[in-house]
Amino acid sequence: MADVKLAVIYYSTYGHNHLMASTACESARDAGAEVRLRKVHETAPEGVVAGQDKWKAHAEATAHVDEAILDDLEWADAYLFSAPTRYGVAASQMRAFMDQTGPLWGAGKLANKAVSAMTSAQNSHGGQEATLLSLYTTFMHWGCILVPPGYTDQTMFAAGGNPYGVSVTAMGQGIPEEAKAAIRYQARRLVEVARKLKG
């Protein structure tokens, strides 16, 4: 029986963050965690999504993925969030989900849970670090225990050297193998720390 319950919550427009989140889920399960993969609700108008072929295709391909609800946050011992960068902060769809968490926060139900984050952007200086730091600011308000990967494993250097969390340059389809290795490490580290916190 899994001793750590992990909610992997993502938003993805074209598929990069979905692939990142899915990679993290595999690693977390291998590390012994019970995992829920959840996407946040799409807030862009349906016509906008339908008007961009790649966006529409990804929405259709992931229609089977359950949407995140507040119960997923209450259920979990740890969280891993993944969202694309938009102007140096997380995509508004992710922010819209986080803005609903007031009742849980007010009841102290988000506190003392391990949390980590990942992101992507179109270029290597597209605001990824700012996005991760802005997410961690929210998690600090929640009272979570931040678990960034830091420079605690060589995979982080190979993936670009971002100590705050894996950040992927989202060009074309897929993500590089070195990024996948870093994602797997970040997920394992999160599960290991969450396990220690549960005692």
Q: Encode pLDDT of 48-85 as tens digits.
A: 999 999 999 999 999 999 999 999 999 999 999 999 99
pLDDT of 90 > 90? The answer is: yes
- Whether the per-residue pLDDT at 1 is higher than 90: the answer is no
Provide the CATH number for the domain around residue 90: 3.40.50.360
Give pLDDT tens digits for 158-173: 877 789 999 998 776 7
The tally of domains found in the chain comes to 1
> How far is 5 from 23, CA to CA, in rounded Å?
17
Among the listed residues 34, 54, 137, the one whose alpha carbon sits nearest the alpha carbon of residue 88 = 137
CA dist., res. 69 & res. 58, Å (int): 21
Q: The domain containing residue 82 runs over which residues?
A: 5-198
Distance between CA 67 and CA 70 in Å, rounded? 10
pLDDT of 98-108, one tens digit each? Answer: 999 999 999 99
Confidence of residue 124 (pLDDT cuts 50, 70, 90): confident
